[in-house]
């Protein structure tokens, strides 16, 4: 199969028929073999009924329905497990991503050898205050911390080699950082393509200020995991050792100073009355805890097992 098209959605019943017809037209005109995989992330409208109807008319349409809303990352994770096309293309269901971009994205993966191609909505039709400005700040921070020179990390229109989606674990709200996850997994040939952005035709945006905040928190998380996720002892163990040694040396200095003064019959105070004693003691305790945190992190990494992070209610045309 040439292409798997992955469309996560939440309450997009009005746009599904038009999106399906548009994608089918592009696939047929380019003679691609394809599957169109809709992931209903707990919609409470008639989205799933629409997907069922589309699948009866077109066997290439497949669907996954979540028990309730788990988020876009979980939807992509479930779809990536099922995708069987040589190239996997993701797009949003709100018709703001154009299916006409698919042939060129496919060509960039198949012929030009990219592992991943990320869309760049250079000209946007979103609210400048609500989405454009936060998006620019977010992307600038992502470029700075990840080292990837992409203009639009959060663009839903992306293309991947199949082996890329099989080797990245998308969780939480990490769908914004799939290029970073791919880079960390060893897929370094990452490109970018300017894509058409269209004004929303149906429904309302799911974007809110909370997602902007979550995006930056996730950026901090992935930056930390990139550097220390595989070796937590390198951070916590090192910090713990340094803090413990500082505390130990301070305690030794206090003790030796006390003994010297006693030997020389100079006036002195109880060690427990010296505030530096408590600073030294706290440093030793904190250092031990940091070291222990690193050690436990290493044990967890060695014994962790992947757990299911979502519950699927129904599937269409999938095993």
Question: Who contacts 84 (Cβ-Cβ below 8 Å, separation ≥6)?
Answer: 1, 4, 35, 162
In contact, 237 and 291? CB cutoff 8 Å = yes
Chain centroid to Cα 137, Å, comes to: 17
Q: How far apart are CA 79 and CA 82, in angstroms?
A: 5
Question: Which residue, chain included where needed, has tokens 């340094």?
Answer: 242
Calpha distance 290→293 (Å, rounded):
5
Tell me if 98 sits within 8 A of 172, measured CB to CB: no
**pLDDT tens, residue by residue, 241-282:** 999 999 999 999 988 888 888 888 888 888 878 888 899 999
The tens digit of pLDDT for each residue in 161-216 reads: 999 999 998 877 788 889 988 988 889 999 999 998 887 777 666 555 566 666 67
Question: Beta-strand (E) ranges in 56-167?
Answer: 61-66, 87-90, 116-120, 158-161
Render pLDDT for 114-130 as a digit per residue (tens, 0 to 9). 999 999 988 776 655 55
Tell me the pairing of strands 34-40 and 61-66.
parallel
Alpha-carbon distance 282 to 288, whole Å? Answer: 10
Q: Given 3.90.550.10, 2.60.120.10, 3.40.50.300, 3.40.50.1980, which CATH number is that of 3-228? A: 3.90.550.10
Residues 6 or more apart whose CB falls under 8 angstroms from that of 265 comprise: none
In this structure, what DSSP letter does residue 97 have? B
* 94-152 residue pLDDT tens: 999 999 999 999 999 999 999 999 999 887 766 555 556 667 777 887 787 778 889 88
Question: Which pLDDT score, from 0 to 100, does residue 318 have?
Answer: 86
Q: Which two tokens stand for residue 229?
A: 């996720």
Helices 47-57 and 13-29: angle between axes, nearest 10 degrees: 30
Question: b or e along 281-298 (b: 16 or more beta carbons within 10 Å of the residue's beta carbon)?
Answer: eebbebbeebbebbeebb
Provide the 3-class DSSP secondary structure of residue 4. strand
Residue 130: exposure state from Cβ atoms within 10 A (0-12, 13-18, ≥19): middle
Of 276 and 84, the one with more pLDDT: 84
Q: What does the angle CA 281 – CA 285 – CA 286 come to, to the nearest 5 degrees?
A: 115
Using alpha carbons, select from 78, 10, 93, 86 the residue that is nearest to residue 48: 10
β-bridge mates for residue 64, sequence order: 39, 315
CA 67 to chain centre: 22
Report pTM.
Answer: 0.74
> Which tokens go with 20?
């399906």
In terms of Cβ atoms closer than 10 Å to its own Cβ (0-12, 13-18, 19+), residue 110 is: middle
What 3-state class would DSSP assign to 221?
helix
């Amino acid at each position: 199969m040439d292409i798997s098209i992955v469309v996560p959605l939440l309450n997009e019943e009005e746009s599904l028929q038009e999106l399906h017809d548009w994608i089918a037209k592009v696939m047929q005109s380019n003679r691609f073999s394809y599957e169109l995989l809709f992931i209903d992330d707990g919609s409470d409208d008639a989205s799933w009924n629409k997907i069922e109807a589309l699948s009866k008319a077109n066997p290439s349409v497949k669907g996954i329905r979540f028990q309730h809303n788990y988020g876009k990352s979980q939807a992509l994770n479930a779809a990536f497990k099922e995708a069987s096309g040589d190239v996997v293309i993701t797009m949003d269901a709100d018709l703001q991503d154009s299916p006409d971009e698919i042939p060129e994205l496919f060509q960039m993966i198949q012929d030009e050898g990219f592992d991943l191609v990320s869309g760049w909505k250079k000209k946007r039709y979103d609210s400048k205050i609500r989405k454009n400005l936060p998006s620019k700040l977010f992307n600038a921070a992502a470029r700075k911390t990840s080292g990837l020179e992409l203009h639009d990390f959060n663009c839903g229109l992306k293309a991947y080699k199949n082996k890329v989606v099989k080797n990245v674990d998308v969780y939480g709200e990490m769908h914004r950082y799939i290029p970073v996850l791919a880079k960390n997994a060893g897929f370094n040939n990452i490109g970018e393509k300017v894509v058409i952005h269209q004004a929303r035709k149906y429904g309302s945006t799911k974007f809110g200020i909370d997602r902007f905040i979550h995006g930056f928190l996730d950026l901090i998380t992935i930056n930390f995991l990139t550097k220390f996720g595989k070796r937590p002892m390198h951070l916590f163990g090192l910090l713990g050792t340094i803090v413990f040694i500082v505390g130990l040396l301070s305690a030794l200095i206090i003790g030796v100073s006390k003994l010297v003064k006693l030997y020389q019959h100079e006036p002195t105070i109880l060690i427990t009355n010296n505030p530096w004693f408590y600073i030294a003691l706290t440093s030793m305790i904190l250092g031990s805890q940091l070291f222990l945190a690193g050690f436990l992190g290493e044990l967890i990494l060695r014994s962790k097992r992947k757990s299911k992070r979502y519950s699927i209610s129904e599937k269409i045309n999938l095993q």
